[in-house]
Amino acid sequence: MQEQLVDLQNQAKNDLAKAKSLKEIEEVRTSYLGRKGALNNIMKRIPGLSPEQKALIGKLANKLKVEIDRDVEEAIKRLDLTSEVPLVMKGEKTTAQDTGGVFDLTLPGKRKPYGHLHPITQTINEIKRIFCMLGFAVEYGPEVEQEYYNFDALNVPQEHPSREDFDTFYLDNKLLLRSQTSTVQIRIMEKKKPPVRMIAPGKVFRPDTVDARHASMFHQIEGLMVDEEVSFRDLKFVLTSFSEIYFGQDIKMRFRPSFFPFTEPSAEVDISCSICNAKGCSVCSYSGWVEVLGAGMVDPNVFEAVGYDPEKYTGFAFGLGVERLTMLRYGIDDIRLFFENDIRFLSQF
* Residues forming the site for ligand PHE (CB under 6 A): 180, 182, 260, 263, 266, 294-296, 317-319
CA distances in angstroms from 62 to 8, 9, 69, listed in the order given = 13, 12, 11
Q: How far is the CB of 311 from ligand PHE (least distance, A)?
A: 21
Q: Is there a contact between 294 and 277 (Cβ–Cβ < 8 Å)? A: no
226: left (phi over 0), alpha (psi -120 to 50) or beta: beta
Q: How far is the CB of 266 from ligand PHE (least distance, A)?
A: 6
Measured from the CB atom, the residue of 260 and 313 that comes closer to ligand PHE is 260
CB atoms within 10 A of CB 293: 23
89 exposure class (CB count in 10 Å sphere: 0-12, 13-18, 19+):
exposed
Q: How far is the CB of 132 from ligand PHE (least distance, A)?
A: 19
- Three-class SS of residue 37? coil
Measured from the CB atom, the residue of 278 and 295 that comes closer to ligand PHE is 295
CA distances in angstroms from 167 to 89, 139, 162, 197, 279, listed in the order given = 64, 25, 5, 29, 33
Measured from the CB atom, the residue of 266 and 314 that comes closer to ligand PHE is 266
Measured from the CB atom, the residue of 224 and 283 that comes closer to ligand PHE is 224
Q: Which residues pair with 201 in a beta bridge?
A: 221
Q: How far is the CB of 190 from ligand PHE (least distance, A)?
A: 17
Measured from the CB atom, the residue of 194 and 321 that comes closer to ligand PHE is 321
Residue nearest ligand PHE, Cβ-based: 319
Q: How far is the CB of 112 from ligand PHE (least distance, A)?
A: 40
